[in-house]
Amino acid sequence: MFLHNYVLVVAVVVVVVLVVVVVVVVVVIVVVVVTIVVVLTVVVVAVVLIVVVEVVVIIVVIVVVVVVVVAVVVVVVVVVVVVVVVVVVVVVVVVVVVVERQHSK
């Protein structure tokens, strides 16, 4: 019976780790795509603004875009960290429950 519980715990841990890895990879891909789109947008806007308006406006737009990108990246990193922490806590709780049940038998 102990071997069965051990296999169950290992299976749960493996599945949880795989889910966390998939979530992290998806988040990283989304952040990279968003960053590329924002950078391309800034380049296009800067080129248009160079032709149309003054340098001060260009600087303001670039600063605003950089601040927005940094804020998005920070939020994404915080979300990923929270997800990883929650998953780790769930795995630890599952392992503790299984071990406690094993000891109580």
pLDDT tens-digit map of 40-87 = 887 787 777 777 776 677 777 777 877 887 787 778 778 877 877 787
Q: Specify the pLDDT at position 21.
A: 79
Express each pLDDT in 26-43 by its tens digit: 877 887 788 788 778 877
Type of residue numbered 45: V
Q: Specify the pLDDT at position 48.
A: 75
pTM: 0.51
Domain edges within the chain: 28-104
- Is 92:13 a contact under the CB 8 Å cutoff? no
> Residue 16 has which token pair?
């949880």
Q: Specify the pLDDT at position 2.
A: 56
Q: Specify the pLDDT at position 45.
A: 76
